[in-house]
Structure 1
Amino acid sequence: MVRRRGTYQIKIRDKQLVCFFCQHDEFLHREVYTDLNPLGETVTDQLTLQSFYCTSCGEIRMFQEKNRFDHMLQKHVSIIEYTEVTKE
């Protein structure tokens, strides 16, 4: 598991991520790696999930990391955008 330091506002497919329970929009981040073993078969792939922990109520949301093709940039970019929240 890998953790980004800091607090983030998250956009997924250009939509702001908001907590279902408290409507807060600031999250801590962890990247979770899960080995896949469907029905006892050995699979060499690993599932990577982005885990977002609400800083207000503690609700956890998880999303699979995927890419989309950006026609303006002419390259694949992540569907998840991170904006660090700075505290003054």
Structure 2
Amino acid sequence: NTGKVLDTGLWRYTRHPNYFGDACTWWGIWLIACETGLPGWISIIGPIFLTFTLTRWSGKPLLEKGMKKTRPEYADYVARTSGFFPLPPKSR
């Protein structure tokens, strides 16, 4: 599968289902922590920072930079597939 792009299963709806799942987990933990009152609410910094890191800093940007260099089909995949949130693919 060298040089190919996985675009089936969950990868049909989002280019990074693992990052989306990780973010959902941390946001869910934060929602549970909110029941503790103010300390729980203040802990929102955690999921915000994690989501920022995955989508804008070290996760998705670094991975996609490498994918564009090594997989010619990746540009087409990016054009039709959501970058983070699972959405139906765009028409080709």
Q: TM-score, normalised by structure 1?
A: 0.24
Q: TM-score, normalised by structure 2?
A: 0.23
Richer in strand (by share): 1
Q: Indicate the structure whose relative CO is greater, using CA pairs within 8 Å and at least 6 residues apart.
A: 2
Larger Rg over CA atoms: 2
Richer in helix (by share): 2
